[in-house]
Chains A and B, each alone.
Chain A
Amino acid sequence: MILLELKNIKKYFPIKRKSWGGQGAFVKAVDQVSLSIYPGENVSLVGESGCGKTTLARIMIKLIQQDSGSIKLEGQEVANLKGSKFRKFRKDIQMVFQDPFNSLDPRFTVFHILKEAMTLEKVRYRHFRDQEQRIKELLAAVDLPVNILNRYPHEFSGGERQRIAIARALVLNPKLLILDEAVSSLDVLIQDQILKLLQELQDKFQLTYLFISHNLKVVRRVSHKIAVMYKGKIVEMAATQEIFQNPLHPYTKELLSAAIEYKSVRRSEDINIHPNAQLVEKEKGHFVLDV
Chain B
Amino acid sequence: MINNNRHHSQFQLALQRFRGNKTAMACVFILGFLYFSAVFAEFLSPYSYKDEQRQYSYCPPTPVHFFDQGRLTWPYVYGLQLSFNEFYKREYVTDVNTKYRVKLFASGESYKLLGLIPTRVHLLGVESPGRIYLLGADSRGRDIFSRLIFGGRVSLSIGLIGVLISFTIGLLIGGAAGYYGGRVDNYLMRLCEMVIMFPGFYLLLALRSAVPDDFNSVQVYFAIILILSFIGWASLARIIRGMCLSLREREYVLAAKSLGVNDFHIITQHILPHTLSYSIFAVMLSIPGYILGESALSLIGLGIQDPFASWGNMLSDAMSIVRIKFAPWILWPAFFIFLTVICFNIIGNVLRDCLDPNLKGN
* A→B interface (CB under 8 Å): 58, 61, 63, 87, 90-91, 94-95, 97-99, 102-107, 109, 111, 116-117, 119-120, 132, 136, 146-147, 149-152, 154-155, 165, 168, 171-172
Determine whether the beta carbon of B7 is less than 8 Å from that of A95. no
Query: Is B274 interfacial (CB 8 A cutoff)?
Result: yes
Query: Is B101 interfacial (CB 8 A cutoff)?
Result: no
Known: A95-B255, A107-B274, A146-B1. A90 touches B260 (CB 8 A): yes
Query: What are 27 pairs between A and B in contact, CB < 8 Å?
Result: A90-B260, A94-B258, A94-B259, A95-B254, A95-B255, A95-B258, A97-B251, A97-B254, A99-B251, A102-B252, A103-B252, A105-B256, A105-B269, A105-B270, A107-B9, A107-B11, A107-B274, A116-B256, A119-B259, A119-B261, A120-B259, A147-B1, A147-B3, A150-B7, A152-B7, A168-B259, A172-B259
Chain A contacts of B260 at CB under 8 A? 87, 90-91, 119-120
A116 vs B253: C-alpha distance when bound (angstroms) = 12
Chain A contacts of B10 at CB under 8 A? 106-107, 152, 154
Determine whether the beta carbon of A132 is less than 8 Å from that of B259. no
Q: Which of B2, B11, B259, B274 contacts A116 (CB 8 A)?
A: B259
Determine whether the beta carbon of A132 is less than 8 Å from that of B1. yes
Chain B contacts of A165 at CB under 8 A? 255
Query: Is B273 interfacial (CB 8 A cutoff)?
Result: yes
Q: Which of B1, B9, B255, B256 contacts A149 (CB 8 A)?
A: B1
* B→A interface (CB under 8 Å): 1-3, 5, 7-11, 250-252, 254-262, 265, 269-270, 273-274
Q: In whole Å, how far is A128's beta carbon from the nearest beta carbon of chain B? A: 10
A147 vs B2: C-alpha distance when bound (angstroms) = 7
Chain A contacts of B255 at CB under 8 A? 95, 97, 103-104, 165, 168
Q: In whole Å, how far is B60's beta carbon from the nearest beta carbon of chain A? A: 56
Chain B contacts of A171 at CB under 8 A? 259
Determine whether the beta carbon of B1 is less than 8 Å from that of A63. no
A97 vs B270: C-alpha distance when bound (angstroms) = 16
Chain B contacts of A103 at CB under 8 A? 251-252, 254-255
Chain A contacts of B273 at CB under 8 A? 107
Chain B contacts of A150 at CB under 8 A? 2-3, 5, 7
Give 13 new A-B contacts, CB below 8 A, not counting A103-B251, A150-B2, A171-B259. A58-B254, A94-B259, A97-B251, A103-B255, A105-B252, A105-B256, A106-B10, A117-B259, A119-B261, A120-B259, A146-B1, A147-B1, A147-B3
Chain A contacts of B274 at CB under 8 A? 107
Q: In whole Å, how far is B88's beta carbon from the nearest beta carbon of chain A? A: 70
Determine whether the beta carbon of A151 is less than 8 Å from that of B7. yes
A91 vs B259: C-alpha distance when bound (angstroms) = 7
Q: In whole Å, how far is A71's beta carbon from the nearest beta carbon of chain B? A: 14
Determine whether the beta carbon of B261 is less than 8 Å from that of A155. no
Determine whether the beta carbon of A90 is less than 8 Å from that of B258. yes
Q: In whole Å, how far is A11's beta carbon from the nearest beta carbon of chain B? A: 16
Chain A contacts of B259 at CB under 8 A? 90, 94, 116-117, 119-120, 168, 171-172
Determine whether the beta carbon of B257 is less than 8 Å from that of A152. no
A154 vs B252: C-alpha distance when bound (angstroms) = 14
Q: In whole Å, how far is B170's beta carbon from the nearest beta carbon of chain A? A: 21
Known: A97-B254, A99-B251, A103-B255. A152 touches B270 (CB 8 A): no
Question: In the complex, which of the residues B2, B252, B261 has the most CB atoms of chain A within 10 Å of its own CB atom?
Answer: B252
Chain B contacts of A111 at CB under 8 A? 2
Q: Which of A63, A98, A105, A106 contacts B258 (CB 8 A)?
A: A63
Chain B contacts of A87 at CB under 8 A? 260
Q: In whole Å, how far is A146's beta carbon from the nearest beta carbon of chain B? A: 6
A95 vs B258: C-alpha distance when bound (angstroms) = 7
A98 vs B262: C-alpha distance when bound (angstroms) = 22
Q: In whole Å, how far is A40's beta carbon from the nearest beta carbon of chain B? A: 22
Determine whether the beta carbon of B251 is less than 8 Å from that of A109. no
Q: In whole Å, how far is A231's beta carbon from the nearest beta carbon of chain B? A: 23
Chain B contacts of A119 at CB under 8 A? 259-262, 265
A246 vs B10: C-alpha distance when bound (angstroms) = 51
Q: In whole Å, how far is A179's beta carbon from the nearest beta carbon of chain B? A: 13
Known: A107-B274, A149-B2. A63 touches B254 (CB 8 A): yes
Q: In whole Å, how far is A63's beta carbon from the nearest beta carbon of chain B? A: 6
